[in-house]
Chains A and B, each alone.
Chain A
Amino acid sequence: MQKFDEMYTQLPYEFFTQGAQIRDHYKIYDEWLARQPGDMMAKRRQEAELIFRRVGITFAVYGDKDEDGSGNERLIPFDLIPRIIPSNEWKMMEKGLVQRVTALNRFIHDVYHDQEIIKAGIVPRDQLENNVQFRLEMMGVDVVNNIYSQISGIDMVRAPNANGEGEYYVLEDNLRVPSGVSYMLENRKMTMRLFPGLFNSHRVAPVAHYPDLLLETLRASSPPTTAEPTVVVLTPGMHNSAYYEHAFLAQQMGVELVEGQDLFVKDNFVYMRTTRGPVRVDVINRRLDDDFLDPKVFRSNSTLGCAGLMDAYRAGNVTICNAVGTGVADDKSIYPYVPKMIEFYLGEKPILNNVPTYMCRNKDDLAYTLANMKDLVIKEVHGAGGYGMLVGPASTKAEIEDFRKALLANPSGYISQPTLSLSSCPTFVESGIAPRHIDLRPFVLSGKKVQMVAGGLTRVALKEGSLVVNSSQGGGTKDTWVLEDGAPTAASVQSQTQTQSN
Chain B
Amino acid sequence: MLSRTADHLFWMSRYTERAENTARMLDVNYETSLLPQSASVALLGWQGLLSISELLSTFTEKHGDVTASAVMEFMVKDETNPSSIVSCLRAARENARAVRGSLTTEVWETLNQTWLEVNKKLKAGELEDDPGQFFEWVKYRSHLSRGVTVGTMLMDEAFHFTRLGTFLERADNTARLVDVKFHAIQNDFYGTTGSKNQEHDFYHWSSILRSVSGFEVYRKVYRDVIKPERVAELLILRADMPRSLHASLNEVVNNLNVLSNENSGETHRLAGKLCAELKYGRIDEILATGLDAYLTQFLDRVNDLAAHISKDFLLPSAA
Contact = CB atoms under 8 A, between A and B. Distances in A.
Q: Do A and B come from one complex?
A: yes
Interface of A: 53-56, 68, 70, 238, 247-248, 250-251, 256-259, 261-262, 264-266, 271-278
B276 interface: no
Given A258-B2, A261-B316, A272-B2, A54 B113 contact: yes
A275 B6 contact: yes
Contacts of B273: none
A53 B5 CA distance: 24
Interface of B: 1-6, 94, 97-102, 105, 108-109, 112-113, 116, 119, 157, 161, 259, 261-262, 313-314, 316-317, 319
For chain A, what secondary structure do more than half of its interface residues adopt (helix, strand, loop), or is it mixed? mixed
For chain B, what secondary structure do more than half of its interface residues adopt (helix, strand, loop), or is it mixed? helix
Given A54-B109, A261-B4, A275 B313 contact: yes
A264 B2 CA distance: 12
Contacts of A256: 1-2, 5, 101
Contacts of A276: 261
A238 B97 contact: yes
A56 B101 contact: no
B108 A257 contact: no
Given A56-B112, A68-B119, A251-B100, A274 B3 contact: yes
B6 A54 contact: no
Contacts of A259: 4
27 contacts: A53-B116, A54-B109, A54-B116, A55-B112, A56-B97, A56-B100, A56-B112, A238-B94, A238-B97, A247-B100, A247-B101, A248-B101, A251-B101, A256-B101, A261-B4, A261-B316, A262-B3, A266-B319, A271-B319, A273-B2, A273-B4, A273-B316, A273-B317, A274-B3, A275-B1, A277-B317, A278-B319
A297 B157 CA distance: 35
Counting chain B CB atoms within 10 Å of each CB, the highest count among A53, A55, A70, A265 belongs to: A70
Contacts of B2: 256, 258, 262, 272-275
Contact of A262 (B94, B97, B113, B316): B316
Counting chain B CB atoms within 10 Å of each CB, the highest count among A53, A256, A265, A278 belongs to: A256
Contact of B119 (A70, A251, A257, A278): A70
A275 B316 contact: no
Given A273-B4, A277-B261, A54 B112 contact: yes
Nearest to A273: B316
Contact of B261 (A68, A271, A275): A275
A276 B2 CA distance: 9
B1 A238 contact: no
A218 to B, nearest CB: 15
A56 B4 CA distance: 21
The 10 closest A-B pairs by CB, nearest first: A251-B101, A264-B319, A250-B101, A273-B316, A275-B313, A247-B101, A257-B101, A56-B112, A247-B100, A273-B3
Nearest to B105: A55
Contacts of B97: 56, 238, 247
Contacts of B116: 53-54, 68
Contacts of A250: 101
Contacts of A261: 4, 316
A251 B1 CA distance: 13
A307 to B, nearest CB: 10
Contacts of A258: 2
Nearest to A246: B101
A323 to B, nearest CB: 24
Contacts of A274: 1-3
Contacts of A70: 119
A336 to B, nearest CB: 40
Contacts of B259: 275
A445 to B, nearest CB: 20
Contacts of B161: 275
B106 to A, nearest CB: 11
Nearest to B161: A275
Contacts of A248: 101
A444 B220 CA distance: 65
Contacts of A271: 319
